[in-house]
Amino acid sequence: MLVCAGTFAYGQAQTLDRVVGVVDNDLILESELKASVQFYVLNNKVDPATPGLRDQVLQSLINEKLIVAKAIEDSITVTDEEVQQQLEQSIQARVQQFGSEARLEEAYGMPISRIKREFRDEMRKNILAQKLQQQRFGGATIGRYEVEEFFHTFKDSLPRVPEELDLSDIAMAPKFSDDAKAATRATLLAILDSARGGADFGSLAKRYSQDPGSAPQGGDLGLVRRGQFVKEFESAVFALTEGQISDIVETEFGLHIIQLVERRGDAVRARHILLRIQRTKESDEAMVKLLGSLRTRALAGEGFAELARKYSEGKENMIGGNLGTVEIDQINKDIYPAIAELKEGSISDPVKVPEGSSYKYHIFRVRKRTPAHVMSLETDYQKIEAIALNLKRSKDYQAWIEDLKSNIYWQARLQQ
């Protein structure tokens, strides 16, 4: 996977850059190396003065460009839609990282529209390299003999397995009161009338929307593939034509109006205005009571999985509320107190869990507890297999890079 530091280098006044590396017909400039070092320091929390850091990052950039050169040589192709989708996702991730679109633009020294233009070609190269690596290493496998040999060689240095919990849950959001819903709908209807009357949708979203993630961008949600929205929102947005504004749509987050900006195959770019419906103390108490009754039924012998399929509003409801196995030190701090001491087969009392700017109530069932222990082939084969496979891929990758270096021109010109 390519490090995208070059794709998202901080924008500064352009000056004549010194060339610090060459790969085939591609140059690596001092400014790109500097931005990549900053990116590495930020993401790995290392001292920027670490000896050899610049050389290490330069070698990574050279490796990345070697892969791109090989992808071009092998006629790997990337569509404009793929580039646009990954660029939008990367921009939105950076907006969240910096806290707002304005802060991102300030850090990069250019507006979002220019960031997209400037770095579209770099994103295309990133995707080329990703595709080639997927072709070469995506199907890598490892046999049992190799896993056992790896284990016997490295068993003394393998990490201990922390305590793990195999969990299921039932998650439900408190229902909105009719009065609160009606008041919010009336307000949003007035905004909808303004939007359909010719007012700028983006300006209305910035002024009124209560979605902190999209409001600063005029409600823009970026390019999103089918299956990523909650079902009510998705049904509405995929029924729109470009430029059309929806009627009021209710989801678990509140009430929305949606405008379809563009459609690209099985993906859409939309913007929305969200007004949240205020939940009441009574609605919270009613939800706690309902989940308490479900807990009682499950403890009395009714199937927890069947109750989850019928009542849960979480994405895992179709698989009986199964959350899988979770290391105890990775459990959300809002959940931990409710389940830390539960025995196998026990079910927690209802617990309030924040979800962005909203929340749901959950009950959790501990299906199995596995104490912390030293890894063994008998109990942790899949974990050991994954570690061994990663090591094998790493060795194969390094050998491949050395082969590319022997067949594609490259040069490092870093001055000490």
Task: Give 321-367 pLDDT, tens digit per residue.
Answer: 899 999 998 898 889 999 989 999 999 999 999 886 678 999 999 99
Structure tokens at 184: 């919010």
Task: Give 24-33 pLDDT, tens digit per residue.
Answer: 988 999 988 8
Highest mean pLDDT (candidates 8-12, 38-42, 95-99, 337-341): 337-341
Residue 166 burial (C-beta neighbours within 10 Å; 0-12, 13-18, 19+): middle
3-state secondary structure of 218: coil
Judged against a pLDDT cut of 80, whether residue 101 lies above it is answered with: no
What is the structure's pLDDT at 11? Answer: 46
Mean pLDDT (whole number) for 90-95: 79
Task: Give 19-63 pLDDT, tens digit per residue.
Answer: 999 999 889 999 888 888 887 887 778 888 899 999 999 999 999
Class of domain 19-140+393-412 (CATH, top level): mainly alpha
Domain boundary assignment for the chain: 19-140+393-412, 164-174+280-370, 178-275
Q: Are strands 164-172 and 322-327 parallel, antiparallel or unpaired?
A: antiparallel
What is the structure's pLDDT at 415? Answer: 66
Q: Are 140 and 388 in contact (CB under 8 A)?
A: no
What is the structure's pLDDT at 10? Answer: 45
Task: Give 264-287 pLDDT, tens digit per residue.
Answer: 888 899 999 999 998 888 999 999
Three-state SS for 225-279 is ECCCCCHHHHHHHCCCCCCCECCCEEECCEEEEEEEEEEECCEEEEEEEEECCCC
Mean pLDDT (whole number) for 384-408: 96
Q: Could you tell me which of 389, 358, 390, 401 has the C-alpha nearest to residue 143?
A: 389
Fold for 178-275, please state it. Chitinase A; domain 3 (3.10.50)
Place of tokens 């009719």: 178
pTM score, two decimals?
0.67
b/e burial code for range 119-135 (CB count within 10 A of at least 16 → b) = beebbbbbbbbbbbbee
Sheet holding 358-370, edge to edge: 322-327, 164-172, 358-370, 351-355
Task: Give 210-258 pLDDT, tens digit per residue.
Answer: 988 789 889 998 888 888 888 899 999 999 999 999 999 998 889 999 9
Fold for 164-174+280-370, please state it. Chitinase A; domain 3 (3.10.50)
C-alpha–C-alpha distance, residues 413 and 76, integer Å: 29
C-alpha–C-alpha distance, residues 333 and 313, integer Å: 21
Mean pLDDT (whole number) for 93-98: 75
318 vs 146, higher pLDDT:
146
Residue 377 burial (C-beta neighbours within 10 Å; 0-12, 13-18, 19+): middle
Query: CB neighbours of 96 closer than 8 A, spacing ≥ 6?
Result: 213
Task: Give 107-123 pLDDT, tens digit per residue.
Answer: 777 787 888 887 888 88
What is the structure's pLDDT at 362? Answer: 96
For the chain, the residue count is: 416
C-alpha–C-alpha distance, residues 205 and 192, integer Å: 11
Fold match, 19-140+393-412 / 178-275? no
C-alpha–C-alpha distance, residues 264 and 223, integer Å: 8
Q: Please state, as a whole number, how many other Cβ atoms lie within 10 Å of the Cβ of residue 45.
A: 6
